[in-house]
Amino acid sequence: MSFKFELDHIGVAVESLEKGKAFYEALGLGPMTTEKVESEKVTVGFFELGNNSRIELLEPTGADSAVAKYLQKRGPGIHHICIKVSDIVATMGALKAMGVQLVSDEPRPGAHGKLICFVHPKSTGGLLIELSQPAPEKADWSSM
Ligand code: CMX
């Protein structure tokens, strides 16, 4: 089986989208689009970069959000990178078979109707990695 991979986005933890977006707007990106992702307890703000990739600002919606915990421990900054995969279930299965620690056993719903799953930083050398499979109608691969 052949899989496809692409950088989907870089996730950046911010105290607030209002404050966090200033630099990216000054750079000339935008406008920022926002979405509340209930399952992840965050409101996200996206800046399109071209090549099908984006910067995702992450504002926690409550103190029990993983991003709130991250901000408390480390402050604002890069929280994760997201790699787009063509078959998330198969990719998760292959990783599990190699003993890689996934945060959930099943994919869960993410922003833009995607299916997502996180790989624990302890299995990747310290970087939280999100895997994301686009909704079928949005499965646009820029380079393949
Ligand atoms: N990047 C790198 N390391 C991280 C990390 C991150 N984002 N978050 C936690 N860690 C590290 C901590 O530094 C800690 O390391 P040490 O043991 O060496 O100190 C270890 O992981 C455990 O950290 P913790 O604060 O106790 O956090 P938890 O174990 O409770 O949770 C994690 C860590 C990754 C399982 C949890 O944050 C998670 O489930 N993340 C996935 C979901 C998520 O982040 N959702 C928000 C984004 C949603 C979106 O993009 O839509």
pTM for the predicted model, two decimal places: 0.93
Q: What percent of the chain has pLDDT over 90?
A: 83
The set of residues, in sequence order, having a beta carbon less than 8 Å from that of 69 and lying 6+ positions away, is: none
Could you tell me the distance, in angstroms and rounded to a whole number, from the CA of residue 126 to the centre of ligand 1? 10
Q: Which residue has a Cα nearest atom 36 of ligand 1?
A: 66
Residue 132 has pLDDT above 60, yes or no: yes
* Ligand 1 first shell, C-beta below 6 A: 11, 37, 40, 42, 44, 58, 66-67, 69-70, 73, 79-80, 103, 110-111, 118, 120-121, 126, 128, 130
24: burial class by Cβ within 10 Å (0-12, 13-18, 19+)?
middle
Residue 144 has pLDDT above 70, yes or no: no
Is the model more confident about 40 or about 135?
40
Q: Which residue has a Cα nearest atom 44 of ligand 1?
A: 66
Q: For 52-102, what is each residue's pLDDT tens digit? A: 899 999 999 999 999 999 999 999 999 999 999 999 999 999 999 999 999
pLDDT score, position 67: 98
Tell me the sheet residues that pair with 55: 10, 47
pLDDT score, position 62: 95
Q: What is the rounded average pLDDT for all residues in the chain?
A: 93
pLDDT score, position 77: 98
The pair of three-digit structure tokens given for residue 107, joined into one six-digit string = 């994919």
3-state secondary structure of 23: helix
- Please give the number of the atom of ligand 1 that sits closest to the Cα of 122: 21
Q: Is there a contact between 66 and 116 (Cβ–Cβ < 8 Å)?
A: no
Least-confidence region, from 18-22, 37-41, 93-97 = 37-41
Residue 2 has pLDDT above 90, yes or no: no
Q: For 48-63, what is each residue's pLDDT tens digit? A: 998 889 999 999 999 9
